[in-house]
Structure 1
Amino acid sequence: MSRNGGALAVETLTALGARTVFGVPGQHALALFDALARSPLRFVGGRTELNAAYAADGHARVTGAVTPLIVSTGPGALNTLAALQEAAAASVPVLGISSQIPRAGLGGVRGGYLHELTDQLASFRDVVKYARVVRSVAQLPAVLAQAWEAASTAPCGPVWVEIPQDVLLEHTDLPAPRPVEVRPRLLLPRQELLDEAAALLARAERPVILAGGGVVRSGATAELLTLAERLRAPVVTTFGGKGAFPWHHPLSARSFLEDRHTTEFLADADVLLVAGSGLGDLSTNYRTFRPRGHLVHVDADADRLGANYPALALHADAREALHALADAVPARAADGRAEESVRTLLALVEDRLAKQDLELEQGVLASVRAAVPDDVPTVWDMTILGYWAWSAWDPRTGGQHSGQGAGGLGYGLPAALGAAVARGGPVLAVSGDGGAMYSLSELATLRQHDLPVTWLVVDDGGYGILREYMTDEFGSAFATELTSPDFVALAASFGVPAVLSSPETLHTDLAEALAATGPSVVVLPATPRMFAPTHL
């Protein structure tokens, strides 16, 4: 069979190290899918391009590697944008590949092509970190390799490559690419800034570390632990940084960032080291954080450094910076003061929650935690239980993932699907009934591929968090109440086992579902509330 541009593109992905591709076929992209059929790559097709992109995101988070996504032109491409925004906000390396109309029509020169946009690439430039149109077969290996390197270089993020239909169909005699290792560029801290940061930390009387998602993504958990123990510095993790530090370590001040006591704890540090966080809304308790000491800020994204707070800024990969700082600071004797400050903080947080009549919410979260094995990843949609999990969930070794980077609904199930493909073992997805309606179609994908995803749907009859926000702000809620299907019967119609649970039986129902093979659904009718805000 004659080789064409589609075959060369798929061969290049294989040579770069891809093993799995997510996507949805479309007319202009058929040459790519024809080539996938003859390749060693595993293809997992979503039922919408949005969900396929979320699945690629979930796969990339679990593997830590670039994950390809292939879709078609126009509507197919545009449907991925919300998921790519999440990948950009959370620095997830997704390689999006879209077909395009034939070269003769690019830029609206001729017009009348199916799915035509005058400048499709313009829709993606503000979302991804690299965007390129391939205009000849000869460019394909080089452009895909450049995109792969860009996606995997800190700060990681989504990239976008468009290939016109006639390029995909064009015959080529170019040899199939050989396996090639694309190494992301190392981002090392400047020595004079590193020396100054180490000196500040060495002199600090009350050092504290705020660890963000960049610590997790760079694989710097060991370096963070070493540095914290040498400094005797308490560690708070951001919502995206969950898992960066052991939850039950004596220096773990955990993740209650929406609590005024934690905000004050961070502000009171005489030197606060922020690693791998942009210090945005959620990490600063909606910008009520006001540091009174020195701020040392390590981030791979230069645009985030000093953007929200003046700081000694180290533009570096978190792992490289934390390793260097751990080598540079002297070890302190353990006098118990840091551990006592952590115990005091956590007691204040616990006391505040205890005064708010939140037994249902805390009980449900405890039941879920008890049912989920330590090594099972959890993926949380934008739902009240997910908001609780940002602060209160112990991720253990399984890891915790959520769509809080960009905050779009519908992330939970498709991202868990991708995580299950990557892991080959159980994954828990958690959604509300509103978010669940975005991704019901992926029950068919779970069944088709027999993926071990247990989906917990907390049905409170509407957009629960928006209901609370509107009621708190305006006295009543509007457009937040929803008519939901019978989720148990609906899952059964896809051939997916489902059970109607209750707060009292949730632990048993979830444990049994996670222990079974293949997909399952657990539906919990309940109306959890958020804890009282402290940022107002």
Structure 2
Amino acid sequence: MSEGRIGGDLVVESLRALGATTVFGIPGQHALGLFDALRRTPELRLIASRVENNAAFAADGYARETGEVAPLVVSTGPGALLTLASLQEARASSVPLLVISSQVPRAGLGGGRHGYLHELPDQQAIAAGVVKSTWVVRDVTQLPTVLREAWSAAAAAPAGPVWVEIPEDVLRAPATLPPVRALPAEVPTLGAQPDALAEAARLLDTARNPVILAGGGVLRAGAREPLRELAEKLRAPVLCTIGGKGAFDWEHPLSGQSWIEDWHSTEFLAAADVLLVVGSGLGELSSNYHTFSPQGTMIQLEADAGKLGANYPVFGLHADAREGLTALAGAVAERKADGVAEAAVAELLGKVRSRLDSQGLGLERRVLGEVRAALPANVPSCWDMTILGYWAWSAWPGQLHSAQGSGGLGYGFPAALGCAVATEGPALAVSGDGGALYGIGELASARQHQLDVTWLIIDDGGYGILREYLDGAFGVTTATELVRPDYVELARSFGVSARETTVDNLRADLAEALAEPGPSVVLLNQRLAMFAATHPQEA
């Protein structure tokens, strides 16, 4: 045993042995033993944020970009509670996070009466409603085992955040175990029941008009290739949900893209005689606000058993998307390419374009196009809940990261920080002025860690999407108009490069900012409008 090692060292050693290279978080009084161990372990990089919810969003972006479990370390009480809104997003979008929260000393657990700073009656119970699983470590010898269990639980399908609490005196207790150098974590595979798979393959083989809807579970499972193979064997059009964007090549002849909020797309999905839904619970957004009404048989391939048949009658396959798609692709017969499916996809996309052309939205389409043109290939982008982000949900040609799972503001910039750490390269964040203020302090984090993130802030004077919602519902707006700072001067005060741009100069200014090392801000003062999906009565 190394002299002077404590519980915090066992935590750090365990994370390293599990494969972690980066930790996100903010120190606090009860977590000092853990953070001192991080100081003494340079192999584990610490990305320190300014607010805990942003640290969680950064870990979320890192996990989405790498596909790996991202550790998040925070302190007791207020620090821990501030992560919960962000963890709601991770849970809804199946993002694997390992949250390690400190706790008051063991003598104060479970009471809330001892007067410790940050003490809560039951911190674990508060977290339990947001994450997949929770643990409380009560002895230093439990640390490696609990962390291994938690890591495996976070990564197991359906992936998601898990929560481990470690009391202050455990983190500072002498480490009675030898240094942790190997800690293999088994992540169980989730394959569908063979008879159910055989029946699903039979349904797909006998379908006249099969269609596939790919959700975020395809991306989380790394199942792009078996999805493509299955679609091409079936000659089945593929549409992607918002969370599933990038699961299928945007320009593929069978790609119906991802205009999920467009009624033409909703009709197209509903008309399938067999619709295979993969990695999606068909919630509010994916069902076009519950207007989707399938006319044929629906097969739902889903890792979360609780989502099977939760919103529609389905033939359910409880399986990880990669396992299930690989099995189905191997089981179905290959069809001849007759051009029928490709023609149907072309007709669908033509209807979508015609609808957009009729709405006078050239400015919005141009702005999104300029952003796309400025972004180099394979550079990740993270989008806040802002009007241009809503456009990107439908029109962005490929994968993006956004908070569509729970819909919270402030995701874009901190998540992009996590992406920049993951790729060791540039990342793009897009926010409105309202959402930007949720994470403005993270400019200091970006500057401190010299993270290569370009932040496009679109200042429309307030909460633009809520302005549209309120005006549409009630004819007036309330609390949507905001006093804002001078974002350019504010960014510069952090030592961050910043410039104001126009629509005409957006592409060049954004490309220049993305090419600069370190953080940068580009401000566009512009009001944008949302497209209107064709209403069912007008279809």
Who is 1:276 aligned against? 279
Matched, 1:483 2:483: yes
Distance 1:109 1:243, change over 3 A: closer
Question: Offset of 1:111 from its aligned partner?
Answer: 1.6
1:184 corresponds in structure 2 to 187
CA contact (8 A) 2:238 2:257 kept: yes
1:532 matched residue in structure 2 = 532
Amino acid at match of 1:91: S
Instruction: Name the TM-score, length of structure 1 as normaliser.
Output: 0.98
Residue 301 in 1 paired to residue 312 in 2?
no
Structure 2 stretches lacking a partner, 5+ long = none
Please give the secondary structure, in 2, of the residue aligned with 1:350.
helix
User: d(CA) in 2 for partners of 1:63 and 1:181?
Assistant: 19
Distance 2:356 2:220 in 1: 31
Please report how far the alpha carbon of residue 254 of structure 1 lies from its aligned counterpart in structure 2 after TM superposition.
0.4
Checking the alignment, whether the CA contact within 8 Å between 1:99 and 1:163 is kept in structure 2 is yes
Residue correspondence of structure 1 range 118-137 to structure 2 within 5 A: 118-137=121-140
Q: Distance in 1 between matches of 2:166 and 2:457?
A: 39
Of the three residues 309, 334, 345, the one matched with 2:348 is 345
1:414-493 aligned at under 5 Å gives the runs 414-493=414-493
2:294 match: 291
Secondary structure in 2 aligned to 1:282?
Answer: coil
Return the letter of the residue paired with 2:432.
G
8 Å CA contact retained: 2:491, 2:497: yes
State the Cα distance separating 1:109 from its structure 2 match. 6.4
Residues matched between the structures, number: 533
Q: Give the one of 302, 313, 317 matched to 1:314.
A: 317
Match for residue 17 of structure 1? 19
In the aligned structure 2, how far is the partner of 1:224 from the partner of 1:118? 47
Q: Which runs of 5+ in 1 are unaligned?
A: none
Q: Over aligned residue pairs, what C-alpha RMSD do you find?
A: 0.9
Deviates more, 1:48-57 or 1:164-173: 164-173
Q: Secondary structure at the match of 1:108?
A: coil
Distance 1:456 1:420 in 2: 15
Q: Are 2:225 and 1:222 equivalent residues in the alignment?
A: yes
Choose from 77, 82, 91 the match for 1:79: 82
**Partner in structure 1 of residue 4 of structure 2:** 2
> 1:515 Cα shift?
1.1
Q: 1:175 aligns with which of 178, 192, 198?
A: 178
The answer as to whether partners of 1:258 and 1:535 remain within 8 angstroms in 2 is no
Question: Which residue is equivalent to 2:503?
Answer: 503
In the alignment, the residues of structure 2 paired with residue 35 and residue 420 of structure 1 have an alpha-carbon distance, to the nearest angstrom, of 25
Distance 1:109 1:291, change over 3 A: closer
The one-letter code sitting in structure 1 at the alignment partner of 2:465 is I
- Aligned match of 1:27: 29
SS in 2 for 1:151: helix
- Residues 279-336 of structure 1 show CA distances to partners (whole Å, capped at 9, x for unaligned) of 0000000010000000000000000000000111000000111111111111000110
SS in 2 for 1:481: coil
1:465 match: secondary structure = helix
In 2, the alpha carbon distance for the partners of 1:109 and 1:154 equals 35
CA contact 1:17–1:179 (8 Å) conserved in 2: no
1:14-413 matches, within 5 Å, as 14-39=16-41, 40-108=43-111, 110-395=113-398, 399-413=399-413
Deviation, 1:454, is 0.5
Q: Secondary structure at the match of 1:284?
A: coil
The question of whether the paired residues in 2 share the 8 Å contact of 1:286 and 1:535 is answered with no
Spell out, residue by residue over 1:68-112, the C-alpha distance to the aligned partner (whole angstroms, 9 max, x if none).
000000000000001100100110001000000011111116521
CA deviations over 1:477-498 (Å, ceiling 9, x no partner)? 1000001111011111111111
- TM-score scaled by length of structure 2: 0.98
Counterpart-to-counterpart distance in 1, 2:407 and 2:289: 15
Deviations 1:223-257 (A, max 9, x none): 00000000000000000001000000000000001
Q: What CA distance in whole angstroms lies between the structure 1 residues aligned with 2:176 and 2:412?
A: 43
What is the CA–CA distance in structure 1 between the aligned matches of 2:260 and 2:442, rounded to whole Å? 33
SS in 2 for 1:469: helix
- Distance between the aligned counterparts of 2:459 and 2:85, measured in 1? 24
Q: Distance in 1 between matches of 2:79 and 2:359?
A: 46
Matched position secondary structure for 1:283: coil
- Whether the aligned pair in 1 keeps the contact of 2:14 and 2:183 (CA below 8 Å) is no
d(CA) in 2 for partners of 1:103, 1:143: 17
- Percent identity among equivalent residues? 63
Equivalent position SS for 1:484: coil
